[in-house]
Amino acid sequence: MEFPCHFEFKAFGPGGEDSSFFSQVESAVGNVVQVSQQAMKTRPSSAGKYQCVSVLVTLQSRAQVEEVYAELQKIDGLKYLL
């Protein structure tokens, strides 16, 4: 990987109307790099039990990649990361 570069993080977690998972992902990534609303997408599973939150950001170093993953792993209910 060459930096700076665009990088997309995908976090899978609980879905549903009461889920705060989307905002937790936004906050976790935002602790490391600036995140715009346009850079965030969510997609529910077919049954709606889970959702995938994708965040596209510009990273300046490998350390930022590792920091974002570390922050995302702290989220309650996180099932999977890409």
Q: What is the pLDDT of residues 15-72, one digit of tens each?
A: 977 679 999 999 999 999 999 989 999 999 999 899 999 999 999 999 999 999 999 9
| Residue 1: per-residue pLDDT | 87
| Residue 28: per-residue pLDDT | 97
Helix (H, G, I), strand (E, B) or coil at 63: helix
Cβ neighbors of 11 (< 8 A, separation 6 or more) are 21, 25, 52, 53, 55, 72, 75, 78, 80, 81, 82
| Residue 80: per-residue pLDDT | 95
Q: Residue 27 is inside which H or E element, if any?
A: helix 21-30
Domain interval for residue 51: 5-81
| Residue 17: per-residue pLDDT | 75
Report the domain count for the chain.
1
Cα-Cα-Cα-Cα torsion 80, 51, 21, 23, nearest 10 degrees, comes to 120
The CATH number linked to 48 is 3.30.70.260
